[in-house]
Structures are given as structure tokens and as C-alpha cells.
Amino acid sequence: MSQLAIDPNSAVYTTDEYGRPFIILREQGRKTRAHGLEAIKSHILAAKTVANIVRTSLGPRGLDKILISPDGEITVTNDGATILGQMEVEHQIAKLLVQLSKSQDDEIGDGTTGVVVLAGALLEQSEALLDRGIHPIRIADGFDRACAVAVKHLDQICETIQFSSDDTENLLKTAKTSLGSKIVSKEHTQFAQIAVDAVLQVADLERRDVPFDLIKVDGKVGGSLAETKLIRGVLLDKDMSHPQMPRSVKDARLVILTCPFEPPRPKTKHKLDITSVEEFNKLREYEKEKFADMIKRVKDTGANLVICQWGFDDEANHLLMQNELPAVRWVGGPEIELIAIATQGRIVPRFEDLTKEKLGKAGIVREISFGTTRDKMLVIEDCANTRAVTIFVRGSNKMIVDEGKRALHDAICAVRNLVVDNRVVYGGGSAEISSSIAVSNAADEIPSIEQYAMRAFASALDAIPLALAENSGLSPIETLTEVRSRQVTEKNSKLGIDCNGRGENDMKKQFVYDPLISKRQQYLLATQLVRAVLKIDDVITSGQSEE
């Protein structure tokens, strides 16, 4: 019988619940940590895994993902930032990719899937270069050089589009391109028009500024996507505080209160003991006087509608109704601010501060109800500040409404980007193919080893049109080869992948527009992330000693 020699320093001797001895080898309980090149390759593998998840969601024919939260709530989307934001990722490098899509979403609002697919393709290409013995820093330098060439080439092939508040055709085309891959594509003409109208309503075209805080996107389940509409004013998910108050108020003069509509209470450290009927009646009279004084102060300003951040009890509600003063209670802080901006009123923290000058003004405030459930909402229209708008999304279920909101956010961002910088490149992978050709040509003139990294960058750019072709049911390599060949021979940088099967590869004729700043940001962010990943050769968890 052979015996196994065990080092007592690397083993723990213990017994089970029956007293039988067994051995735990220490090496089994500790994972061996990768260093150097092995670590970089494991990081690349993690990043590629995340990129492959969203790769199938790219383009107008991209597939959706169903995301289930820990409490069982379902989200169906193909928005890259939403998919990655709701994924549970443990690996550190995977988390960097999640942050990459979030930074693209925060800065540009669109192109969140494309930037992750590009970063994954760059890392995949860098793995092949590492296997050939090229140092990670040389690869990163080559990628930086190639990115500079690609961004410069984008500036050369971009076109400036003209638009005005009367001529919005080009803005509409851009919004339609953004919405083409979304779940709302059935109504994408209507949604694109809403996005363009909302941006132009709030935009300052001279300063090229679009204040997003003036655009509110709200939604309610019920109805179809076709019932989504733009409200030139503010929508509140509230109704009048008393059922007998008027359903609409014309020529509204609003008091916006952030103090409760009730008498002052004793502080928490004090209490009020009432021991007789006289004392109770005295307190009741005091409260009644206070209510009457509050209502008088409001009426004296000439107001005919009260918007209150806090609630008020039944007695105050009854007195308001008796004094023909409609009121809305429990209005949230963000809504209070939006109402103040829209109506050009001042938020009043105390009744003593009420003056006529602080009132907000609106043409009409009316209650609207929906379906057989009679859900009610308040619409404040014809406000003093005509720039504030609300987009009201309808849908058959919460999933559709939420995806409609996300799609509108992307479309609004795409239109906003054109207002800020009205230069565009063409979509369908045409910009990537053209940039790839430019980077390949530039690599031929580089004498150093970085030319390999530049060619790898060019190959990574091809990943976008390859994914578009694959997701559209086309033969990826054949389609890309044909379009790339035509771009070289015809010297036409607008030729891309015909995702919709219209028989036309010229993206200008298909009206597939991409804002230049969005495409440029994708290249720069993806290259920065890949450079950071290539420079990491070890992961050290703080608080854990290495034995």
C-alpha cells in the first residue's frame, strides 16, 4: 500500500461530526493568481465575454435582451447602457466596460452598444498581437496612433447638414436612424417628430445649447405607442385634492408652496395636554383661524390654484373647496421645480412670504382621465415659459413604456448632438469601413513595430459592419468584402451595410445619419479603455495577504 507524503505546513488536519479525521490541503483553498501576460489575457477574455453579449443587439435588426432584476422585475431592451447597467458583473475588467458604456451614455446619449463592441474587438485583436510577442505598451501606442488617424479621417469625410426651426428634415432623419433599432420602430416617424419638436422647443439655436432639464419624459400604461404625444407644458401624475373641485382652471395663477397647508404643530420634544372641552374648542378655533388666515393670504395674491409639496388634512381640503380655491397636494420636488420654471413662478417656503409677484402663470390647467380605470393626471399648458415640454409615452405594458422612454432619450440626444455640432457621418458601418481603409494605408508608412497594432485597429473597426451584417441575416465576410472593395474603387465613403434590404448601399440615399461627435467619442473612449486594460498585468485585492 503506497503512502502519500503530506507537508504539514501546507495542510490542515481536522475531523468531521463523527470524529473521523480528514485533511484540507491549503493550496486547494487558494486560487493561483495570474501574473503578467497571463493576467492581461484573462482580462481580455472577460472584456470579450461582455462585448459578445451586446454584439447581437447592434443595428436596426439587432436582437433584444430580457433582464430580470433580483425582485423579479422584467426589462426588455437592446440599449447597450441599460443591458450593461443592469448586469451583475464580478470581474474588474468587465466593470470597466460597464462604465465605458455609461460614460458614452452620459456624454453623448447614443452609441452605447457600438462603443462596447469596438472595445471588445480591439482587445480581441490585441490578444493575437500579444501571442506574437509584441509588448502591451507598443500595442497601446499603436492603437493611439491609429485612433488619431481614424478621428482625423472622420473630420475629412463628415458633412455639414443645414436645419432651422422651419426646416427640420435632416434632424428627423437623424432621429429616425437612432430609433430604427428600438422596440418603437413601428412608430418611429411619430417618435422622431416628437423628439425633434421637443429639442427645438427648448433649444437656443444661437448659443447651440439644449437645456435637458426643460424636457420631462413621463409615461403611463394603457393605450398604444401611437398615442404618445408632446405636451407643451408640464404633466403631473396627480389630481385635484377634492373630488368637487373644478376639473379645469383657465388663466391659472399658481401659488407654489413647499410648506404644509396646516397650523403649526408643537415640536417633537413637546406635547399638548387637553383636559377639558373648553381647551379643545379653543384649540379648534385656533386651527380654524390659522386655516382661514392661510386661505386669505393665498386669495389676496389673486391666485386661483394651489400647488403644494406637502399634504393637508380633510379640514383644510374642505375649507379650500368652500373658498373655491382648487389645490393639488403631494407634488414631488423635481415636479415643483419644473412647474416653477415653466410658469415662471417662485417657490414659496412660508405663507408670510406670499406676494402677487411670486405667482406662476399658465393658460389652462386641466385634468385628463384614461380608459375605464379613470386614472387622472393634471396638464399645465400655455405656460409663461413656453420652452418647458413634457413627452407623454403610452404603451400596452410597463416594459413597452420604459423602452419607449429609453428610445426617446436616445433620439433626443441624437438631435441635441446635431444642434451642438451639425456635422454628420453616415451610418451602416460606412464610417468604420472608410476609417479602417485610412488606418491601413497609414500603417504602410510606419517603419516601427506599431504598424502591426495599427493594422489590428483597422481590423477591429471592421467588427462593427461585420456585426451589422450578421444581425441583419447577411453573410458577414462576403458583405463586408464587397462594400469595402466598392469604397476603394468608387472612392465613396458613404457605402455601408444595407441592413434593411432596400438594395441600396449608399447610406446618404438611405438617410442613415450619425452625429460626428458621437462617432468620434466612440473611437476615443474605446481606445482609452483598451490602453488601460493592456497596462494592467496584476490584480491585487486589498486586505488579503499573499502567502
- Catalytic sites, residue numbers: 79, 112-113, 410
Q: What is the 3-state secondary structure (H, E, C) of 493-510?
A: CCECCCCCCCCCCECCCC
171-186 CB burial, b ≥16 within 10 A, e <16: bbbbbbbbbbbbbbee
Q: In the numeric block, which cell numbers belong to residue 253?
A: 395663477
Return d(Cα 335, Cα 226) in angstroms, integer.
Answer: 26
Q: Which residues are 220's β-sheet partners?
A: 394
Return d(Cα 521, Cα 431) in angstroms, integer.
Answer: 13
- Measured on CA atoms in the order 187, 191, 192, 193, is the torsion positive or negative? positive
Q: Which amino acid is at 475?
A: S
Contacts of 33 (CB under 8 A, 6+ apart): 39, 538, 539, 546
Contacts of 32 (CB under 8 A, 6+ apart): none
Q: With contact defined as beta carbons under 8 Å apart, do 394 and 483 qualify? A: no
Beta pairing class for 215-221 and 389-395:
parallel
Q: With contact defined as beta carbons under 8 Å apart, do 171 and 163 qualify? A: yes
Q: With contact defined as beta carbons under 8 Å apart, do 119 and 526 qualify? A: yes
Q: In the numeric block, which cell numbers belong to residue 64?
A: 433584444
**Alpha carbon separation from 464 to 2, 129, 243, 344, 438 (Å, rounded):** 60, 20, 57, 47, 16
Return d(Cα 337, Cα 346) in angstroms, integer.
Answer: 9
Q: Which amino acid is at 441?
A: N
Strands (E), 122-247: 159-160, 215-221, 229-231, 233-236
Q: Which of 266, 197, 263 is nearest to 228 (CA)?
A: 197
Q: In the numeric block, which cell numbers belong to residue 375?
A: 386614472
Q: Collapsing DSSP states into helix, strand and coil, what is residue 540?
A: coil
Return d(Cα 365, Cα 359) in angstroms, integer.
Answer: 14
Q: In the numeric block, which cell numbers belong to residue 208?
A: 447651440
CA dihedral 70, 57, 173, 175 (to 10 degrees): 10
Return d(Cα 520, Cα 421) in angstroms, integer.
Answer: 12
Return d(Cα 240, Cα 325) in angstroms, integer.
Answer: 10
**Alpha carbon separation from 418 to 107, 205, 256, 517 (Å, rounded):** 14, 11, 36, 9
